[in-house]
Each structure stands twice: as structure tokens, then as C-alpha cells.
Amino acid sequence: MSHSSVPSVLFVCVHNAGRSQMAAAFLAHLTQGRIEVRSAGSAPADTVNPAVVQAMAEVGIDISAETPKILTPEAVRTSDVVITMGCGDTCPYFPGKRYLDWQLPDPAGQGVEAVRPIRDEIRGRVSGLIEELGG
């Protein structure tokens, strides 16, 4: 476990502009601080995908102020669970961490209609993760 008694989860995708942002927002929203949440990208974009921001706003979660962040070894080292979404070998590996790889379509360049089913799939997976972590 991390330095605190609160489990921590890191969501990683290449650009940290879509999938990982949605997953982090759902986890933070649904657990209200019972789980520490981070997200990052191996090659972060300049901004969060506007269609992702819109899709999340439709379910009452505002991520318009979020910015993509660079993935650091420290972020991985201080997380209990690392969930990758298509970044593959670019994610640093630390023994003793729990790694999950969620195969999800990339919302980059997609309109909000294409983002909604990805958002809903992520919400379902995050809900399952919360049950697993006891959050």
C-alpha cells in the first residue's frame, strides 16, 4: 500500500486527454476521496479532448479544468494500482504494483457520439474497480 491508508490508482493512456481523464474523473466522483486518483500520459496532449469534456458534462462531471499530465516513474511508484489504456511498453514497471490493462477505443478525433459508449464502458469498469478495492 502507499504511504497512507487510502488506496491509490493511476490511470495511464498515451495522451492523457480522453480515456484516462474519464476514468480518473469517475473514480474521484464515485469515491469522494476514499481512493486517491491520478492520471497521466506517456505523451500528453496540450488539452483534454473537447468531446470527452462534453460527454462527461452530460453525466454531471466537469473536467473542463483538467490538463493532461506527463507520466513519471514517481507517479507509478506511489500508486497501488496502475491501469493502462493503450500505452503498452511505455509505462514504467515496478515490481509489487498491480497492473491492469483496459482495452478501450481511443476517443481521439471522435465526436461526442463516439465518446459516449467509451465513457459508459469506463464508468462500468471503474464501478467494478471500486468494489474490488473496497472503496
| Residue range 93-120, pLDDT digits in tens | 778 889 999 999 999 999 999 999 999 9
Q: Is 87 a catalytic residue?
A: yes
Mean pLDDT of 63-76: 95
Q: Is 123 a catalytic residue?
A: no
C-alpha cell at 90: 511505455
DSSP labels, 54-104: HHHHTTT---TT----B--HHHHHT-SEEEESS-GGGS---TT-EEEE---
φ, ψ of residue 2 in degrees (nearest 5): -75, -175
Cα–Cα distance for residue pair 50/111, rounded to 1 Å: 9
Q: Report yes or no on whether pTM surpasses 0.85.
A: yes
Per-residue pLDDT, 135: 74
Instruction: Tell me what the pLDDT averaged over the chain comes to.
Output: 91
Q: Classify residue 70 by its DSSP letter.
A: B
Coil/strand/helix, residue 49: coil
- Say whether pLDDT at 3 is over 50: no
- Say whether pLDDT at 88 is over 70: no
Q: Is 91 a catalytic residue?
A: yes
The one catalytic residue among 13, 17, 56, 122: 13
Per-residue pLDDT, 96: 83
Q: Which amino acid is present at 28?
A: A
Per-residue pLDDT, 70: 95
The one catalytic residue among 17, 75, 82, 87: 87
